[in-house]
Amino acid sequence: MGLIRWFFEYLDGLSARELVLKVVYLTAAFLIVVIVSASLVMRNILTDIPSIDKLDEYTPSLTTYVYDINNQIIAEFSVEKRAILPLSKIPVDIQNAVIAMEDRNFFRHWGISPRGIMRALMRDILHRRSAQGGSTITQQLSRGIFLKPEKTVTRKIKEIVLALQIERNFSKPEILTLYLNQIYLGHGVYGVQSAARLYFGKDVSEMTLGECALLTGLIPSPERFSPFNDPDRAVQRRRLVLQRMKAGNYITDKEAQDAADEPIPTEKSTLFTSRAAYFVEYVRQLLEPKYGVTQLWKGGLKIYTTLDLSMQVPAEEIMEKFLAQYDQDAEKSRAAEEKAQEADKEKEAEVARSSVSLQGAFVILDTKTGAIKSMIGGRDYRKSKFNRITQAARQPGSTFKPMVWMAALMNGYTPASIVEDSPMAYYYDGKDWRLLEGATDQYAIDLAIQPFVGNKDFKIWVPNNYDGKTMGRITARRGLELSRNLASIFLVTHVGPTQVVEVAHRAGITRNLDAVPSIGLGTSLVSPMEMATSFSTFANGGIHALPFGVLKVTDKQGRVLEESMPEETESFSPQLSYVLVNMMKGVVQRGTGVYAAKLKRPLAGKTGTSQDSKDMWFIGMTPDLTAAAWMGYDDFASIPMKNWTSGMVVPWWTEIMEVILKDQPVRDFPVPEGIVFVTVDQETGKLALPTCKKKLLEAFVAGTEPTEFCDVVH
């Protein structure tokens, strides 16, 4: 109080002129302080304002698209789903809609709207909220690209300054182009092109007026106005946009009404639903190490693949239909067994069944090139990302037998050669498995091993057929057609397991295989992809084509970064390959794969069931396609068998291929030079006589055909 009293006494002592001067000095000093303080505050705000010098080099995070063989989008790799288009590719309707709704003076202002800013400021003061609203398209662009999404006065000032700089350095069309390509439109998509794909399943250039209005209505609050989240509100927003466009003379009353009557989307387009998920992940694992995470996920690459969605989609649907039915049947069977056990308390045996769902895998290769046309690594990628086509290590069972038969052909055997489907036993001498000589029937085997029963140092192996029976002397063809285990072991014994391993590796199997007699029963572990490519080698005249899934990769400018060509290796002679494939045709015509004969076209193939029925296979081939199907439990539980011959895989393999092959030309496997055909007796393999009841036109490498006539009285 004393200081104030002194100040007024001091003023009373001044003359009028002196008083005026003092007031002027004090006012000037106050203004200087205010100006300096404001300058310091503005300097503090603007020191970290980003430079717009590189706006013309602005490269937002772009979506990488994965295409199938017919240029249909399979999937995307993206952090933000975004695509960049020139203004000429964006419909005028959406340009007009955005201007009418967001900034009707866009072509007249110089970056900001003072009236809009004051209006927003007054609203914020009255409601005591942070600065918001009143933004031009240029301000929204500066905020979206350069600034954080906070709502503060500081950010608003930066936004205005940036908008003024952008307007000074870029034309209106350039600003509008950047805005339409980077604006967020909900559900993770940025820009009108990606939004058109998400909401309508089409390119932005194909959008109708109603669709343009719907997208524009999303801009202030995309999730809130999304037709997927609130259809009624989305319709209201679209109507408001159309009214603004009509008021701005962009459209007529009739155009507005017609657009308002258009239906709105109710679910995301399938273009944004990743299909062939296991294949897409397979592609990612191939390319991400090569191009890096940033380039793959943000670089806007275009990845053209070998996959054919017209094969992939029906294969996925059919496989799932069958496996789901098998699961239902297994559950009913389990319930029935449990009920039976409860009824008979004396039985203590438990129902040993898998607690997980039955799994399946399916792959189609182009026989000539190795291109992957379809890949299903499991039933549901969301539940299990384990790709059973490429990553699984399972026993192939009898599907491995063509490796044995090829080794036999290379060692002088023919389809008419006689093999033994008779009892046999092996013992382990500490180094190798050796055949027990003379043990050719069960009695002799029991007698030979009797002294060693209970001896832990003495190991013995007695293979048998799946039906527990033997057929004695049969042709090599019949042994393969009927998948006789003992005939396979007979051939392994005579050609050597090492030779079989070599054949398998030349055919396309890359894993280490145990060179033991049981290799003829498919006891070594392999993947479905390895088995498919091996069969494809036989079908391709002995030429192994390395499987591949990527045809071409281009960058965002369309420059080719890589382009694939088939990698081929001559593994076997075309003559021996044809003879083997011709025998494998018999598997479908008369053998364990006869169910597939309903396709009524030349097919070669092989069924397979591993030990204890833990794996079931069928691999079939045409001259153009090789398809491998597998099913089993991930926990290696046994599959309850319904049919020991055709198994449970051939039916769904056949139904898939019926769809896939319906428009494919019917072609037989080409016959190479050096092949002769001779009619033989199916039982003896010798030249057939008129009295022979079962005759067959058999293929031989020239010079290996039989010369003796059948001497059996039928």
> How does pLDDT run across 77-130, given as a tens digit for each residue?
876 677 788 999 999 999 999 999 998 888 888 767 666 666 666 665 555 544
What is the DSSP track for 376-407? E-SS-TTT----TTTT--B--GGGGHHHHHHH
**Distance between CA atoms of residues 631 and 612, nearest Å:** 14
- End-to-end CA gap in the chain: 138
Which residue carries 């003092």 as its tokens? Answer: 22
What whole-number percentage of the chain has pLDDT above 90? 58
Q: What angle (nearest 5°) sits at the alpha carbon of residue 681, between those of residues 677 and 686?
A: 75
**Distance between CA atoms of residues 277 and 508, nearest Å:** 25
pTM metric for this prediction: 0.76
Q: Could you tell me the CA-to-CA distances from 564 to 73, 369, 543 in Å, in that order?
A: 19, 11, 18
> How does pLDDT run across 445-494, given as a tens digit for each residue?
777 777 767 677 678 888 888 888 999 999 999 999 999 999 999 999 99
Top-confidence residue, 160 or 237: 237
The yes-or-no verdict on residue 252 having pLDDT over 70 is: yes
Q: Could you tell me the CA-to-CA distances from 57 to 60, 111, 140, 178, 224 in Å, in that order?
A: 10, 20, 19, 11, 33
Q: Which SS3 state, helix, strand or coil, does residue 426 take?
A: strand
What is the DSSP track for 271-314? GGS--SHHHHHHHHHHHHHHHHHHHHHHB--EEEES--HHHHHH
Residue 300 region by backbone torsions, left for phi larger than 0, else alpha for psi between -120 and 50, else beta: left
- Closest of 558, 515, 506, 554 to residue 533, by C-alpha: 506
Which residue carries 């002027």 as its tokens? Answer: 24
- Closest of 556, 75, 545 to residue 291, by C-alpha: 556
**614-628 mean pLDDT:** 97
Q: How many CB atoms lie within 10 A of CB 211?
A: 24
Q: Which residues pair with 553 in a beta bridge?
A: 303, 562
The two tokens of residue 126 are 């009255």
Top-confidence residue, 71 or 454: 71
| Predicted pLDDT of residue 294 | 85
**23-34 mean pLDDT:** 63
| Predicted pLDDT of residue 29 | 61
What is the DSSP track for 215-230? HHHHTT-HHHH-TTT-
**165-191 mean pLDDT:** 86
Confidence band, pLDDT 50/70/90 cuts, at residue 131:
very low
Residue 278 φ/ψ, nearest 5 degrees: -70, -35
- Per CATH, the homologous superfamily of domain 85-272 is Biosynthetic peptidoglycan transglycosylase-like (1.10.3810.10)
The yes-or-no verdict on residue 133 having pLDDT over 60 is: no
Q: Is 155 exposed, middle or buried (0-12, 13-18, 19+ CB in 10 A)?
A: middle
Q: Is 47 exposed, middle or buried (0-12, 13-18, 19+ CB in 10 A)?
A: exposed
Q: Which SS3 state, helix, strand or coil, does residue 158 take?
A: helix
**Distance between CA atoms of residues 466 and 486, nearest Å:** 10
Residue 200 φ/ψ, nearest 5 degrees: -125, -5
Residue type, 450: Q
Residue ranges covered by each domain of the chain: 85-272, 673-714
**Distance between CA atoms of residues 427 and 462, nearest Å:** 9
- Closest of 626, 629, 619 to residue 547, by C-alpha: 626
Residue 371 φ/ψ, nearest 5 degrees: -65, 135
**Distance between CA atoms of residues 269 and 510, nearest Å:** 41
The yes-or-no verdict on residue 271 having pLDDT over 70 is: no
Which residue carries 């999404």 as its tokens? Answer: 149
Confidence band, pLDDT 50/70/90 cuts, at residue 654:
very high
Q: Are 470 and 421 in contact (CB under 8 A)?
A: yes
**Distance between CA atoms of residues 626 and 603, nearest Å:** 10
Q: Could you tell me the CA-to-CA distances from 39 to 36, 43, 47, 153, 160 in Å, in that order?
A: 5, 6, 12, 16, 17
The two tokens of residue 250 are 């962009």
Confidence band, pLDDT 50/70/90 cuts, at residue 140:
confident
Q: Are 410 and 576 in contact (CB under 8 A)?
A: yes
Q: Fill in the DSSP letter of residue 518.
A: G
Q: Fill in the DSSP letter of residue 696.
A: E
